[in-house]
Each structure stands twice: as structure tokens, then as C-alpha cells.
Amino acid sequence: MTAKSLTSNTLSGAAGGEITLDFGGQTRIRVDEADRPARVRWTVLVSEPLPDWAGTTITFDITPAADGGTVLHFTHHGLTPQLECFSMCSAAWTQYLASLADYADRDGGTAFGPAAGERATAGREHQADAAS
């Protein structure tokens, strides 16, 4: 990630641990599940920059792909269109997840840069074509 990267003040990725992130305000997350290599589930306890996140859960499920690769299923439970931050948060998650894929595929993500946004756009276009 770049100099604008999220900073982790406290980190325990084990189940029952907590992660504290500072990205414009403090966000405290409890690690509910950490079953390597298949699943991670977090509950957002406090989110100063995005109060709508408090009480939501974030899940990363990893499954093998038919081509020998890996598929990441991401869900932010409770982040719904009724929340004020929905559009902004959906766009941000799309960019961050594309950056994560770039990091895994190319050993260099761009969480805040245009490459992640371009990849996310291409991914959405691919999904739309596949759905047709």
C-alpha cells in the first residue's frame, strides 16, 4: 500500500483478538473467526469515521477455484443501501479488494491509486458480460 495506507495500532488476527485501525478515525474490530486458510470473520465494534459500520460484520471466505487458483468471497454484512455511507463504502471496498488481488497476483497493490480502480472497472464489466 502507499503512504496513505491504513495503519494498524493494535493487531491480533487470532479469533477473539482485536484489530484497531486508524484511517481518519479509530475503528476497532473483533476477530470472531480465523480459520486458516478458509475463513475470517470480523465484527466492527467502534468506527469513528464511519459510525454506520458499528455492529456490522465483515467476512472473507476463501475457496479453491477450478483452474487451481483461489476465489475470495467477501461480504460486509449490515452495509446496506439504507446507510448513509453505502455508496462511498461500496466503491472503496471494490477498490481495496482489487488492490488486494493486485497485491497477490503481482506483489504490489494500489489501494489508493488508479490501477486498482481500473482493475475494478474491468472486473465489473466482465461480471456484467458473464451475466448476459
The pLDDT tens digits for 17-63 are 999 887 778 899 999 999 988 999 999 999 988 899 999 999 999 99
Superfamily of domain 1-77: START domain (3.30.530.20)
The pLDDT value given to residue 64: 92
Rounded to two decimals, what is the model's pTM?
A: 0.72
The domain locations on the chain are 1-77, 85-132
**Kind and range of the H or E element at 55?**
none
Q: How many CB atoms lie within 10 A of CB 112?
A: 17
Query: How many DSSP H helices and E strands does the chain contain?
Result: 2, 6
Judge whether 28 and 17 are in contact, CB under 8 Å: no
The pLDDT value given to residue 40: 95
Predicted confidence (pLDDT) at residue 98 exceeds the cutoff of 90: no
Taking the C-alpha atoms of residue 14 and residue 27, their distance in angstroms, rounded to an integer, is: 17
The pLDDT value given to residue 112: 65
